[in-house]
Amino acid sequence: MKNDFKNGFMANIPIGFSVAAYGSVCGMLSSQSGIELYEMILMNVFIFAGTSQFLIIDMWSNTLDVIGIILAASMINLRYFLIGASLNSLFTKSSKTEKFAYMHLVADENWAVTMGRLRNQEITPLFLFGGGVCLLFVWNISTITGYILGEFISDPSKYGLDFAFVSIFISLIFTMYKGKTNLFPWLVAAIVSVVSEAIFPGKLYIVLGAIAGSLSAVLAHKGTK
Amino acid sequence: MSNIDLSAMLIILGVAVVTYTLRVSGLMFSNSLKKEGKVKVFLDYLPATLLLSLVMPTILKEGFLGVIATVCIIFCMYKFKNILLSMSIGMLVVGLGRNFIL
């Protein structure tokens, strides 16, 4: 229990390589689009959500559309509502203060690693938080490096580094498999996400796929009762 | 402080507040629900369906290579149950494929 912070920190180091690859690109693009270094660091610390930071960089220009950027970034981060909802089982014994303190450093990566671990081991929210601190370090170091080195960094996607996080997520999905009843909802999630990715702009497909998959599980359960 | 600096600060603050609110409210909302029946099933399935929705379009965009890598990762997990090894295999397949096949 006491080592949960450290264990969470360590467990996120493998996926940290992938985050670092992303981070270096994010830093490089930030400097190119005229974002100041301190602005990027503020985003790293206070927004702490890579995909929305990429979107902000993309929409950054000489005249900033404040409302437009905030709305677009919020749409991308809508999935954090579902991620928060799924973390309920981890926080059952926690106080409100703990919830408010630990939830900020929740990203896709440490959330996924925590959910994978939660399946076969009893852990506390400190595991999640330790992972978040690990990612906060990696994200800052890699984006700052990318920002300073700029064009000197060669494309990390050439070495398949960007596929590391996809690989880890696939492995984690595998550990969540509990039997044939899972297959139908999983298939629904997969199909809906792929179809809505083609139809809707932005990252709405993540939320739509997840809701469709989980709803189909509810319906399928009703049928078997 | 010039106008652009002020706008930048407003954007960072706005996105930060919205994102944190989403993170916390999701947890608070699910905590206030009754954890039985339909709600339990929905929440139980959420981690896997979220992860699947996150990766499926990316895998398919990678094309044949993405599918091959996915099969290798699943096989490796089945055989060795080692996430680090599976990750390395996935990256290796995609890295080699991009450099030597495509």
3-state secondary structure B13-73: HHHHHHHHHHHHHHHHHHHHCCCCHHHHHHHHHHHHHHHHHHHHHHHHHCCHHHHHHHHHH
The pLDDT score that the predictor gives to residue A113 is 94
If we measure between CA atoms, which residue out of A135, A136, A133, A146 comes closest to residue A23?
Answer: A146
Pick the more confident residue, A160 or A127: A127
User: Is residue A225 pLDDT above 50, yes or no?
Assistant: no
Rounded to 5 degrees, what angle do the CA atoms B73, A174, B41 make? 155
DSSP string, A69-116: HHHHHHHHTTHHHHHHHHGGGTSTT--HHHHHHHGGG--HHHHHHHHH
Q: Which residues of A touch B50 (CB under 8 A)?
A: 79, 82-83, 86, 206, 209-210
Pick among B31, B53, B83 to test the A interface (most A CBs inside 10 A): B53
How many angstroms away from the CA of A201 is the closest CA of chain B? Answer: 13
B18 contacts on A by Cβ (under 8 Å):
70, 73-74, 77
pLDDT value at A32 more than 50: yes
Higher pLDDT, A174 or B33: A174
pLDDT for the residue numbered A154: 63
Contact A109, A165 (CB under 8 A): yes
pLDDT at A222: 74
> Is A28 a residue whose pLDDT tops 90?
no
Total H helices, total E strands in chain A: 12, 0
pLDDT at residue A81, as a whole number = 93
Which B positions 2-41 lie with beta carbon below 8 A of chain A?
4, 7-8, 10-16, 18-20, 22-31, 35, 38, 41
Task: Let me know: does A139 contact A30? Beta carbons within 8 Å.
Answer: no
Instruction: Tell me the CA distances in angstroms from A62 to A5, A33, A136, B14, B57, one per residue in order.
Output: 42, 9, 29, 19, 33
Of B8, B35, B89, nearest to A39 by CB-CB distance is B8
Give me the total of CB pairs closer than 8 Å, taking one residue from chain A and one from chain B.
Answer: 259
Give per-residue pLDDT as tens, A48-107: 998 889 889 878 877 788 988 898 888 888 889 999 999 998 999 999 999 999 999 999
Which residue of chain B comes nearest to A159, CA vs CA?
A: B95
Band of pLDDT at residue A1, cut at 50, 70 and 90: low
Q: What's the predicted TM-score (pTM) here?
A: 0.80
Place B16 in a pLDDT band, splitting at 50, 70 and 90. Answer: very high
Record: contact A158-B98, CB cut-off 8 A: yes
- Chain A residue with minimum CA distance to B41: A218
**ipTM for the complex?**
0.85
Q: Give chain B positions within 8 Å (CB) of A88.
A: 27, 30-31, 35, 43
- In our burial notation (b when 16+ CB lie closer than 10 A, e otherwise), range A43-68 reads bbeebbbbbbbbbbbeebeeebeeee
